[in-house]
A and B are shown apart, each in its own frame.
Chain A
Amino acid sequence: MAHFEKAKNLNEWLDQRLAVNTLKKVMQTEYWIPKNINFLWAMGMVLAATFGILLVSGIFLLMYYKPDTNLAFDSVNYTIMSEVGYGWLWRHVHGVGASLVFLIIYIHMFTGIYYGSYKKGRELIWLSGMGLFVAFSAEAFSGYMLPWGQMSYWAGMVITNLFSGGSLEAYGLVEWIRGDYVPADAFLTRFFMLHVLLIPVAIIGLIVLHFGTLRIPHVNNQDGEEFDFAEAAELYKAGKVKESKVIPFSPVFLSKDVLVMGVYFILFFYLVFYHFEFAMDPVNFDPADGLKTPAHIYPEWYFLWSYEILRPFSKDLGLIAFAIAQVIFFMLPFLDRSPNVAPASRRGLFKYWFWLMLLDMITLTFMGKLPPTDALFANIGLVAAILFFVLWIALPIITKLEKKL
C-alpha cells in the first residue's frame, strides 16, 4: 500500500488517488495545439458533441421504441411523435443528427486529406478515424431499419442481397444474415441489438483510440510544419503567448472550439425545427410492405457515392468495385508515396487529385440518387465511378513524382 498523506483539499485528495492534476495537464492545460490552424480543426469536437446528442436523444427514443415488426412503425410515429412528452423533439434531433454527423465526418475527413494529416506518425489517427467512419456507417444503416417504413424494409432487402456475392449466389448466407428469408422480425431485432448496444460500444472504444493515437503526434497545422512542441510549450509557459507557436487545449483552443460549436448548433437546430425532410424521407413514412416496392429506393445521402460505384457495372464487377471502394480510403497513408506533410495547394499534382476526388465523390453522390433509367445520368455515373478508381491508381504515381518540400 503506497503512503498517503492527509490531503488539504478535495483537489489534492483526488490528485493523490487519481492523479487528476497530471491528467488535467496532459489532456487540457498542457496539451499543446498549434496556433496555425483554422475552424476546420474544431470538427472533431463538433463530431463528439453530435455523437453525444445522438446518444442522449437515442436514450429517450429507446424508452418507447418497440423492436417488433407489428409495433415498430407506430411506436415511433404515434407513441413517440404524439404521446411522449417532447418525443417529437428527440426524434427530430436524432434524425437530423444522424444526417449531419456524416456531413461533418466528410468535412473532417477531407480536411485530413487536404493537409496531409494521415502520414508521418499520424497513420493510426487516420486508420482509427476510418474505423469510426465504418462504425458510424453501420450504426446509421442499422438505425434506419428501426422505424420499419418502406425505405427501411427495401434498403434492408437490397443491401443484404449484396451479400449473395453476385455469381457466388450465396443465398444461404443472405438468409443467415437476415435470420429469415426476407427482412422480418428476426432481422429487425438483431439490427436493433447492433444499433443500441454493439456498435455504440465499438464507436466509444474507437473514439478513445482515436484520441489516444492523436495525443503523441499532436494535431497538424495549416502549413504541415514540423516543430518542437516542447520548445514552443516552454515559450508559452514563460508568458510569451504571442511568440509561442502553440496554445493550450484548455482553455484557449477549447474557447474557439465552443464558438464553432455554437455556430454549428444554430444550423443544427434550425434544421431540427424547420427543415428536416432531407433527414426524414417521406418514403419511410409509409409502413413497410414486403409486397410493394416503392417507385424510388435510394440510400441516405451519405451512402450515395458508394451506391453509385455499385450500379454502373455488371453484377460481379460492381460488387468488386463496391468492396474496393469501402476499404480504399484506409490505404491512403500507404498509397501516398510522398513524404510531404503540407496543404494540397503546395503539393503539385496532388492539388488536382484532391479537388478532382472531391468533385468526383459529389458527382457520384448526385448520380446515386437518380433513377438508373436515364441514359445521361447513367453515363455520367459510369464515368465518375471509373474516374474514382483511376484517381486511386494514379495516387501512388503522382505522389512518387512529387518534389520534396
Chain B
Amino acid sequence: MAKSEQGRRDFMGMALGGFTALGGIGALYAMKRSWDPLPSVKAAGFTTVDLSGAQPNVLNVEKWRGKPIFVLKKSADMKKDPRDVVVGSDHYHVSIGLCTHLGCIPAYVPDDHKFKCACHGGEFDASGHEIFGPPPSPLEIPPFKIDGTKLVLGEAGPEYKKMLDAGLTA
C-alpha cells in the first residue's frame, strides 16, 4: 500500500489490511479442514485373519489400512519371543511389513528365518528384531485382538495392550 502524499502512515489501510488478514486466516483454516482425511477414511478399518490354515515358516501377507501385515507361524525350531502372538500352543510373529528404516517391504527368507530388506540391506529376525543394517527399531506390531483362531487387526485386545505397556512395540 502506498503511503499518502504527505508521507503520513496509512493507519486505516493497515487496520483494514490487518482485519482482512484475520478473515484470510479463517479461510485458510477452512481450507485446511477440507484437506483433512474424511471421517469414512479415519473410521477404524479392521481386517480378520483366519490363522487355522497357517503353515509353519510360511509368510502370510495380509492387508490392513493399506499396509502389508506379516503373519508368520513359527516352526518348532524357531525361537520364542515375548513379542509373539500366542494362539493356543502356536506362536506367531505379527508385524507391519514395512522396514523401519525408510518403509520398503522386506522379503522373508525361510531358510535363514530372516527378513531381508532389498532397499538398503537391513535385516530383521523371525521375531521382527533389527539385526543388521540401517533399521533403527524392530518391526512395528499393529493393534490386534485374538478371537478364537482368528486374529482381528485394528482392534486393541488385552494381549496387545500388554505389549504396549511392556514397551515391546511402539
A and B touch in the complex (CB under 8 A): yes
Interface residues, chain A, with chain B CB atoms under 8 Å away: 28-29, 60, 63, 79, 83-87, 89-90, 239, 241, 248, 250-251, 255, 258
Q: Which residues of B contact A86 (CB under 8 A)?
A: 30-31, 33-34
- Total A-B contacts with CB atoms under 8 angstroms apart: 37
How far is B119's CA from A337's CA once the two chains are assembled, in angstroms? 77
Question: Could you list 8 further interchain pairs (A-B, Cβ under 8 angstroms) beyond the known A28-B2, A84-B34, A251-B1?
Answer: A79-B38, A85-B30, A86-B34, A87-B34, A250-B2, A251-B4, A251-B13, A258-B16
Query: Please, could you name 30 A-B residue pairs with CB atoms under 8 Å apart, sorted by A?
Result: A28-B2, A60-B31, A60-B34, A63-B34, A79-B38, A83-B38, A83-B39, A83-B40, A84-B34, A84-B38, A85-B30, A85-B32, A85-B34, A85-B35, A85-B36, A86-B30, A86-B33, A86-B34, A87-B34, A90-B34, A239-B5, A248-B2, A250-B1, A250-B2, A251-B1, A251-B4, A251-B10, A251-B13, A255-B13, A258-B16
How far is B30's CA from A87's CA once the two chains are assembled, in angstroms? 9
B2 and A85 within 8 A (CB):
no
How far is B21's CA from A385's CA once the two chains are assembled, in angstroms? 49
The 5 closest A-B pairs by CB, nearest first: A85-B33, A86-B30, A83-B38, A60-B34, A85-B36
Chain A: minimal CB distance from B131 (Å): 43
Chain B: minimal CB distance from A263 (Å): 14
The total of chain B residues at the interface (CB under 8 A) is 17
Q: Among B2, B33, B36, which residue has its beta carbon within 8 angstroms of that of A29?
A: B2
A251 and B2 within 8 A (CB):
yes
User: 0/1 per residue, B3-46, Cβ < 8 Å to A?
Assistant: 01100001001001000000000000011111110111000000
Q: Which residues of A contact B35 (CB under 8 A)?
A: 63, 85
Chain A: minimal CB distance from B14 (Å): 11
How far is B64's CA from A283's CA once the two chains are assembled, in angstroms? 42
A89 and B1 within 8 A (CB):
no
**CB contact list, B107-159 vs A, under 8 A:** none
How far is B34's CA from A60's CA once the two chains are assembled, in angstroms? 7
Q: Which residues of A contact B33 (CB under 8 A)?
A: 85-86
Q: Which residue of A lies closest to B1 (CB)?
A: A251
How far is B30's CA from A63's CA once the two chains are assembled, in angstroms? 14
How far is B36's CA from A85's CA once the two chains are assembled, in angstroms? 7
Q: Which residues of B contact A251 (CB under 8 A)?
A: 1-2, 4, 10, 13
How far is B16's CA from A89's CA once the two chains are assembled, in angstroms? 24
Q: Which residues of A contact B5 (CB under 8 A)?
A: 239, 241
Q: Which of B2, B36, B40 has the most CB of A within 10 A?
A: B2
Q: Which residues of B contact A28 (CB under 8 A)?
A: 2
How far is B32's CA from A248's CA once the two chains are assembled, in angstroms? 37
How far is B26's CA from A86's CA once the two chains are assembled, in angstroms? 11
How far is B4's CA from A63's CA once the two chains are assembled, in angstroms? 43
Q: Which residues of B contact A90 (CB under 8 A)?
A: 34
Q: Which residues of B contact A258 (CB under 8 A)?
A: 16
Q: Which residues of B contact A29 (CB under 8 A)?
A: 2
Chain B: minimal CB distance from A187 (Å): 28
Q: Which of A84, A85, A89 has the most CB of B within 10 A?
A: A85
Chain A: minimal CB distance from B19 (Å): 11
Chain A: minimal CB distance from B25 (Å): 14
Q: Which residues of B contact A60 (CB under 8 A)?
A: 31, 34
Chain A: minimal CB distance from B43 (Å): 11
Q: Which residue of A lies closest to B5 (CB)?
A: A239
Q: Which residues of A contact B39 (CB under 8 A)?
A: 83
